[in-house]
Structure 1
Amino acid sequence: METNYGHRSLRKGRFSAANNIYFITAATVDRSPLFSEWLYARAAINGFTQTKLLGHSRLLCWVLMPDHVHWLIQLADDTKLSTLVGSMKSASARLTRRAGCSQNIWAPAFYDHALREEDDIRSVARYIAANPLRAGLVDRLGDYPYWDAVWL
C-alpha cells in the first residue's frame, strides 16, 4: 500500500483557471503547532505575503493557525495554482527556518476549493478569518494577530 495515496488524490482533477479564486488549506508536518511560536508565525507570514512572490495574483484573505494556514487567492493569468502555493510554502518555510525552527514546516500536499461565480467571496473570507474563534484560540477576532483581508 502506498503511504502518500491521500496526498496524491488531492491533486486529482486540480485545474488552475486564470482570475479564479481559490480557498487553500495547507497544514504543517504532522499538524505540529509550530506557529504557536510568535517568531515562527511572523517569519511564515513575511514569507507567504511577499508581493514579488505573488506576482499579479492576489492574496485576498489569510489566517495562520498554529498548525495550518488558510489562503483565499485570486490567480493571475499566467499562474498555476500548484506553483504559486508551492512558492508560498517554500518562502514561508525558508524564513521560518531562518528564525530558528529546525523542523520540517509544511506537509507536502494542500487542499484547494475553487470558488464558483455564485459563491459570496466575502462570506468565504469571513469564514477564513473566524477560524481562530471557532478553534477557541480567542474570544474576539481582533485579539488574534495572524490574519488579514483586503477588505479592511
Structure 2
Amino acid sequence: MRYRRNYVAGGTYFFTVNLLNRQSALLVEHIDVLRESVRWVKQQQPFYIDAWVVLPDHMHAVLTLPDDDHDYSNRWREIKKRFSKSLPKTELLTDSNRRKGERGIWQRRFWEHTICDERDFWHHVNYVHYNPMKHGLVNCVIDWPYSSFHRALELGIYQSSWCGEELMFES
C-alpha cells in the first residue's frame, strides 16, 4: 500500500524532516544557511510558522498554509534544495544519490501530520518545543537556541520555566 499525503488548503501541519546522516550536526552547524533557506521560501510561497525547532540532525515544525494553498511538499523541497546548494560538496554519495542527482544530505521523504483540532495543535506545538529536552540536548527548554519557544515566550504563551507540561488554550 502506498502512503498518500493529506493536502488541505489553508491547513495546519506538523512535520519532521531528517538529515540522511542521523549522526550529523549539519543543521545547527549551518543554522544561518537553514534560516536563509526558510526565509527565501517563505517569501516566495508564504506560510506561517506556528512552531519550529532545529536539532543537529532533524527538525520539527508546525506550519499553517494560506487559505487557498495546500502545497507544503514544494515548500519542503525548496527549503532542502536551497540549504543543500549552499553547502560545500563534502558528503559521501551512494550510487542511488548519484543516479538521482541528489546531494545525500536529506532523507528523501518527510513525516507530515494534518492538525485536526485545537488539542492536536497544542500537543504538537508543545512536542516541538520540548524536543531538545527529549533528546537530552538541554535540561531546560529555554536553553535550546534554535527554537520558536523564545518567540512564544515573548508572546506570553509559555513561562520561562516550562519543561514540557501540557498547555491547552481555548480559542
Offset, 1:82: 1.2
2:148 counterpart SS class: strand
Q: Structure 1 137/122 Cα, relative in aligned 2: closer, same or farther at 3 Å?
A: same
Aligned pairs, number: 138
Counterparts of 1:58 and 1:41 in 2: how far apart (Å)?
Answer: 19
Deviation at 1:120, TM superposition (A): 4.1
Following TM superposition, the consecutive aligned residue runs of length 4 or more in structure 1 with deviations greater than 6 angstroms are none
2:141 aligns with 141
Q: Distance in 1 between matches of 2:24 and 2:35?
A: 15
Tell me, yes or no, if the aligned pair for 1:21 and 1:74 is still in contact at 8 Å: yes
TM-score (norm 1): 0.77
Asked which structure has the greater CA Rg, the reply is 2
Q: Relative to 1, partners in 2 of residues 1:137 and 1:111: Cα closer, same or farther, differing over 3 Å? A: same
Unaligned 5+ runs, structure 2: 92-103, 155-171
The answer on whether the counterparts of 2:51 and 2:62 sit within 8 Å (CA) in structure 1 is: yes
For structure 1, list consecutive stretches of 5 or more residues without a partner in the other structure.
1-7
- Structure with larger RCO (C-alpha < 8 A, sep 6+): 1
CA–CA distance in 2 between the matches of 1:73 and 1:36?
19
Distance across 2 between alignment mates of 1:60 and 1:114: 13
Structure 1 residue 123, shift from structure 2 partner = 3.3
TM-score (normalizing by structure 2): 0.70
Q: Percent identity?
A: 23
Match of 2:167 in 1: none
Name 2:119's counterpart in structure 1: 119
Partner SS, residue 130 of structure 1: helix
Please give the secondary structure, in 1, of the residue aligned with 2:113: strand
